[in-house]
Copies of this chain bind each other. A is one copy, B any other.
Amino acid sequence: MKLIYEKSQAGRRGIGVPKPDLPVPEVPDELRRKEPPRLPELAEPEVLRHFTQLSTRNFGIDTGFYPLGSCTMKYNPRVNERVVGLPGFAALHPLVEDDAAQGALELEWELQEILREVTGLDAISLQPAAGSQGELTGLMLFRAYFADRGEDEQRRKIVIPDTAHGTNPASVTMAGYELTPVRTDARGNVDVDDLRAKVDEHTAGLMLTNPSTLGLFDENIEQIRDIFHGAGALMYYDGANLNAVCGISRPGDMGFDVVHINLHKTFSQPHGGGGPGGGPIAVRESLAPYLPVPVVTRDGATFRLDYDRPKSIGKVRAFSGPFGVFVRSYAFMRAYGPALREMSEVAVLNANYLLARLKEAYDLPYDRLCMHEFVLSARSLKREHGVTATDVAKRLMDYGFHPPTVYFPLVVPEALMIEPTESEARETLDAFAEAMLAIAREAAEEPETLKEAPHHRPVRRLDEVRATKQPVVRFRFDEHERPSGVGTHQLEAPKGA
């Protein structure tokens, strides 16, 4: 379909602007805009149609099953969209005095209380904008904590298992730390021997996802805790997989000192094609003094933003955090109440059911019960029929499903990382399983069908290599060439997570 710029016609307008009967002050000539920006020019009906049409070329949870592993694509309750739009929330300026924001602050406070209970930790900062920023903030807290103890120069290393999400090592670099990788053992746990060899007085801490990105709960978590705490190091919990363990096992009780919670995963948030998210962190009391400002506090029945925290690392984002995200997640939590445990139970049940239905047809690298997700491999399909995880993913589209995450975690070749979440009905899981099984058969019988998939989407398979080699990252108006020529072969980058 056309770009909105290709529908533009000089002189059209999609919205009017009030024009007060007042003089417009002069802008000094050297500061005045010379060439107007070439924004689209369309009447309102055409703008709405354009984006409506775009939406029909997209697939969301509302469209169907979206088992994108590590992303926890659960149902987004519509009441959350309604309440986030209440003028008392949506029209609230973030810099009003606290007395004008008591409802917002109470909500933030209550959200913090629930997060403390779910994580088993003591203090919260709601500020981080997403999990990745939570990670970085957590590592900044590590540094502040050790600096306070005079150990910052000494402790420069962060241990991360090879199953970790890419954000973990990236955060390590951004925080100015060095990375110490650690292996995964034959059962899919962190290799404790390898770990023991690598943790010492230079270690600032660990970053761990538990259950891991393999969907497996680390059976040695208590040993791991002892190793780190024994070495005076701290432990960071990547909360991306918290959906597996709400009310079942708490990071604080596992020994972690800092946890980020991806509100947009465990506590439901419309992912909006990439975001927004929320990445609050929960910390042990010992790390609380370093939390970003402001911190939401309570004095009896009133709530306030506390900026007076001399040991604070500062700010990682504006204001107290992405408030609208808090409204939605708080609403989600209140819809469940203590049944948040049931949420995790069903997420795990759904995943194990799918696993049971699929493990004969695909390779299962670690044959254990899984938690909320599991990772299969298309290794045999590739070896036997030349069919890759990408081909399986693309073919799933033709069956009406969003593909799982592929090529992640990196330790599993031809990985297919499947997370159904608790939101799905058994019929949906069955239909997906049937499709996966049919695809495994097709791989043997008609591999070409898979390699050329998808066949029934608005576009056929796209050439990602070409996009990288000849980057066209904005419309170029008159000079814009209509593309031609046909793609060659596919990149195998992780997709999902």
Residues from chain B with Cβ under 8 Å of A53 in the complex:
63
A44 to B9, CA, bound (A): 43
A45 within 8 A of partner (CB): yes
Residues from chain B with Cβ under 8 Å of A43 in the complex:
425
Name which residue of chain B comes closest to A425, CB basis: B46
Residues from chain B with Cβ under 8 Å of A425 in the complex:
9, 43, 46
Contact at A78–B46, with CB atoms within 8 Å? Answer: no
A62 within 8 A of partner (CB): yes
Residues from chain B with Cβ under 8 Å of A75 in the complex:
44-45, 48
Q: Could you tell me which residues of chain A, from 9 to 57, have a CB within 8 Å of some CB in chain B?
A: 9, 43-46, 48-49, 52-53, 56
Q: Which of B7, B45, B61, B77 contacts A44 (CB 8 A)?
A: B77
Q: Which of B45, B49, B63, B427 contacts A52 (CB 8 A)?
A: B63
Contact at B423–A78, with CB atoms within 8 Å? Answer: no
Name which residue of chain B comes closest to A426, CB basis: B9
Residues from chain B with Cβ under 8 Å of A44 in the complex:
75, 77
A314 within 8 A of partner (CB): no
Q: Could you tell me which residues of chain A, from 406 to 434, have a CB within 8 Å of some CB in chain B?
A: 423-425, 427
A176 within 8 A of partner (CB): no
Residues from chain B with Cβ under 8 Å of A78 in the complex:
48
Residues from chain B with Cβ under 8 Å of A46 in the complex:
425
A487 within 8 A of partner (CB): no
Residues from chain B with Cβ under 8 Å of A7 in the complex:
427
A64 within 8 A of partner (CB): yes
A425 to B427, CA, bound (A): 45
A56 to B53, CA, bound (A): 11
Contact at A62–B52, with CB atoms within 8 Å? Answer: yes
Q: Which of B49, B63, B77 contacts A62 (CB 8 A)?
A: B49
Q: Which of B45, B48, B63, B77 contacts A49 (CB 8 A)?
A: B63
Whole-angstrom distance from the CB of A31 to the nearest CB of chain B?
34
Contact at B48–A64, with CB atoms within 8 Å? Answer: no
Residues from chain B with Cβ under 8 Å of A52 in the complex:
62-63
Q: Could you tell me which residues of chain A, from 53 to 78, have a CB within 8 Å of some CB in chain B?
A: 53, 56, 61-64, 75, 77-78
Whole-angstrom distance from the CB of A347 to the nearest CB of chain B?
13
Name which residue of chain B comes closest to A74, CB basis: B45
Name which residue of chain B comes closest to A77, CB basis: B44
Name which residue of chain B comes closest to A7, CB basis: B427
A179 to B101, CA, bound (A): 67
A7 to B426, CA, bound (A): 11
Name which residue of chain B comes closest to A64, CB basis: B49
Per-residue contact bits, chain A 280-292, to B (CB 8 Å; 1 contact, 0 not): 0000000000000
Residues from chain B with Cβ under 8 Å of A48 in the complex:
62, 75, 78
A61 to B61, CA, bound (A): 25
Residues from chain B with Cβ under 8 Å of A77 in the complex:
44
Whole-angstrom distance from the CB of A231 to the nearest CB of chain B?
46
Residues from chain B with Cβ under 8 Å of A45 in the complex:
61, 75, 423-424
Instruction: Jot down 21 A-B pairs with beta carbons below 8 A, ordered by A.
Output: A7-B427, A9-B425, A9-B427, A43-B425, A44-B75, A44-B77, A45-B61, A45-B75, A45-B423, A45-B424, A46-B425, A48-B62, A48-B75, A48-B78, A49-B62, A49-B63, A49-B64, A52-B62, A52-B63, A53-B63, A56-B56
**Beyond A7-B427, A44-B75, A45-B61: 6 further Cβ-contacts under 8 Å?**
A43-B425, A48-B75, A49-B62, A49-B63, A49-B64, A52-B63
Residues of A within 8 A of B (CB): 7, 9, 43-46, 48-49, 52-53, 56, 61-64, 75, 77-78, 423-425, 427
